[in-house]
Amino acid sequence: MSEEQNNGAPFSEEQNQQIVDTGIVAANNARHNIRCLTIIGQIEGHYILPPQNKTTKYEHIIPALISIEEDSTIEGLLIVLNTVGGDVEAGLAIAELIAGMSKPTVSIVVGGGHSIGVPLAVSARRSFIVPSATMTIHPVRMNGMMLGVPQTMSYLEKMQARITRFVAANSRMPQERFHELMMERDELVMDVGTVLEGEAAVKEGLIDDLGGLSDAVECLYSLIEQGADSKPKPKAKKRGAAKKKNDASGKASGTVKPAKLTEPKKNAATVVIHRVDNGNYSLNSADWRGER
């Protein structure tokens, strides 16, 4: 028995240093060999935040995720989130890596999972939230100098679309509903958006289950015991899917009729503008001019 265990310390000196450096801890004497990853404070991206800020550094998390994926002795990953958000691209990069892991993953939101913390929360195979936790959904914003030109608006729209697609693909919330909550004007005093408490986040389909730590750990154990090929979470239904299904069921044959030829393609710029202008996830010109 080690000296630390003789002294009654919960973690060894090496484990304590690992928590300080990466926020990851390995559990001892557990039913399965899992890792716990904490994402707290502000997600730090390409710029170093002030020393008084508690941060999660993506240059620490990304190598840790790769190591967990490659280590054959690790059976699953538990992600604990209490974050105010932060760098969008860094947060989305971490979320994409978690969503692409072959090993079972479970996330639990405690305290808050705001802004870019929303994609991080839904990136796991199964997500939990405690009743007292909250999640803030709001549009993308920028700090520092910004040019007041249409290209800036287009850039923000495309970035927001990436987040919206990711959340809809990894939760039960449709893109239309996510955009509706994101653009709510009567919820926040100094911002646009919506704050969802634990139970509301589950009812909206953003989070899978309402529960605590024991529920999340037991769910992770269950996923491990089911095997790596366990069924993924259901995706949000798209509008018009039921109509297409009914149309297909009315056909006499079991084959799908080839799509009709449409008018000649327009240039790429026109197609992109057409899609953005008619997409439910985009902001309109009134938002950009400050008329809303």
Look up 138 and say whether it is catalytic: yes
Rg (the chain; Cα; Å) = 22
Residues near 68 by beta carbon (within 8 Å), at least 6 away in sequence = 35, 37, 74, 77, 101, 103
Count CB atoms within 10 A of the CB of residue 153: 17
- Report the C-alpha gap between 176 and 241 in whole angstroms: 14
Specify the pairing of strand 105-113 against strand 126-129: parallel
Question: Given phi > 0 = left and psi -120 to 50 = alpha, else beta, which region is 240?
Answer: left
Stated length of the chain? 292
The residue among 121, 105, 133 whose CA lies nearest residue 212 is 133
Q: State the catalytic residue, choosing from 107, 114, 115, 171.
A: 115
Say which residue the tokens 């305290």 belong to.
Answer: 111
- Report the C-alpha gap between 113 and 169 in whole angstroms: 18
Q: State the catalytic residue, choosing from 114, 127, 138, 282.
A: 138
Active site members: 115, 138
